[in-house]
Amino acid sequence: MDLEGRLESYLELALYRINQELLTNVAKPKHAQATQVDLLLVQEDGEIMLKVRDNGRGMNLKTGKTTGIGLRTIADRIKLLNGTCVLSTLPSGKGTLVTIQLPVPS
């Protein structure tokens, strides 16, 4: 983790809740079925970047069935914070990568 000090409390709480939901999805047998997860949290150039990658079964992004209530809640939080979220899935059985970028107010 590479942060330049404490963030605003609302941003810390949002990052905590986003991480909580993402890691819950990785841990649930009905979701990722992963055995490993990597988390990266970096602050640079006025942004926070969060990457969560697992080695689970991935998602079929073509069906549009990737937006359960947990992912919708994450998307809503990110939108309220003027951030972006990108879901990437590797070939079947190779995992998922979620990349979130949030601006850090000066």
Reported as a single tens digit per residue, the pLDDT across 53-90 is 998 888 766 655 555 788 889 999 999 999 999 988 87
Total structural domains within the chain: 1
39 within some domain? yes
pTM of the entire predicted model: 0.84
- Mean pLDDT (the chain, rounded): 86
d(CA 101, CA 82): 9
Asked whether residue 2 is assigned to any structural domain, the reply reads no
pLDDT at position 1 over 80: no
Whether residue 92 is contained in a domain is answered as yes
Domain assignment of residue 3, yes or no: no
Q: Note whether residue 86 is domain-resident.
A: yes
Is residue 4 one of the residues assigned to a domain? no
Write down the pLDDT at residue 92. Answer: 64
Q: Report pLDDT for 85.
A: 95
The residue segments making up the domain with residue 26 are: 9-103
Q: CATH code at 99?
A: 3.30.565.10
Q: Give the contacts of 66 (CB within 8 A, at least 6 positions apart).
A: 59, 60, 87
